[in-house]
Amino acid sequence: MPAHLDPRLLLAFVAVAEELHFTRAAARLYVAQQALSRDVRRLERELGADLFVRSTRQVTLTPDGERLLPYARRVLEAQDALLSAFGQARPLLVDLNSPGLVTGRRVLYRARELAPEQEIMARFESGLTYAAAELLAGRLDASFGRFAGLEPGLRARLAHQLVRFEPMAIVLPREHPLASLPSVPLDALAGETVYAGAGNPRTPEWTDLAHRLFDGRGIKVAPPAPLAVGEEEFQRIIAKTGHPVLAVVGFPALPGTVVRPLADPVPLSPVSLVWRRGLAHPALDALRRAAAELAAAHGWLRRPVQGWIPAVDETVNSVQG
């Protein structure tokens, strides 16, 4: 056993252990696959143990690899914490889902004001389910979205802080009979087919929320549409199908549409700040402070008398941090 282990070797090991694929792990670390393989082999020599079973079809962890993984993660987390404590933190990568959603952006902007010495960089991954995998892979540090909509296995490896109960809305074509109303009662949507991201592999937590909201109300979730990337493509697909779109208050109206809040009851989208368990970074601390400050200042966590969220969200959101 060597007296010292290079953290770079542990970083290579953790990347391969989490991806179970050398090519993807190399892309994640922005290194050549040959260099990554060399680092893993060096770590195996220094520990005197085989860490992976390699074949032409798959990579799996050996028992020694399984045993090493939690230790390696703790070492790397401690290294991040040490560098952060001495002002050498790397940039924090924060997913805002999409440019049209305002809650995450407002938290990010306030965090930058609270910690101007930290570099907080925005990303736009479009959905918390996709972002969660990126968080666990180390390609993102934080994201925003409906935490209860994630699979339990993902939630167990992530932490969250509830930020806002965001009122939901409906995007309607200007010529739609309901477009003239200041707000749209849910019962008025009976018989409608509403687009809520069905089929988008990045946003199943949002589609699940729609199913729970529409259940028993005679509202259908629109079938999957081609995955649209970018505002222009999304606008084209929505115009082609003609379906109303489930959104949140503050969502920017597309040309030829109006955004109306939903009512009776007021459906709420629970938005959490989500990060990888064990992550230590001063910019994450600033994000958490910013989220709490904005929630208190604007009443983001106050629920209307007729507010609605799914029962599962009530349960999951009672456990945070």
Q: Answer yes or no: is pLDDT of 1 > 60.
A: no
Lowest mean pLDDT across 86-90, 193-197, 272-276: 86-90
More confident residue, 190 or 18: 190
Closest listed residue to residue 160, CA positions, set 267, 318, 295: 318
Q: Answer yes or no: is pLDDT of 111 > 80.
A: yes
Tell me what pLDDT residue 149 has: 96
Q: State the chain's mean pLDDT as an integer.
A: 88
pLDDT tens readout for residues 85-95: 665 567 899 99
Q: What is the mean pLDDT of residues 185-204?
A: 92
pLDDT tens readout for residues 215-273: 999 999 998 876 666 667 767 767 777 789 999 998 887 788 899 999 999 999 999 99
Q: What is the mean pLDDT of residues 144-171?
A: 94
Tell me what pLDDT residue 185 has: 97
Tell me what pLDDT residue 239 has: 73
Tell me what pLDDT residue 289 has: 95
Q: Phi/psi at 230 (nearest 5 deg)?
A: 100, 150
Long-range contacts of 78-87, Cβ-Cβ distance < 8 Å, separation of 24 or more: 79/7, 80/279, 80/280, 80/281, 81/280, 84/280, 84/281, 84/282, 87/117
Q: Give the chain's largest Cα–Cα span.
A: 74
Tell me what pLDDT residue 101 has: 77
Kindly list the structural domains of the chain, giving each domain's residue range(s) and its CATH number in brackets, ordered by start.
7-85 (1.10.10.10), 92-165+269-316 (3.40.190.10), 166-267 (3.40.190.10)
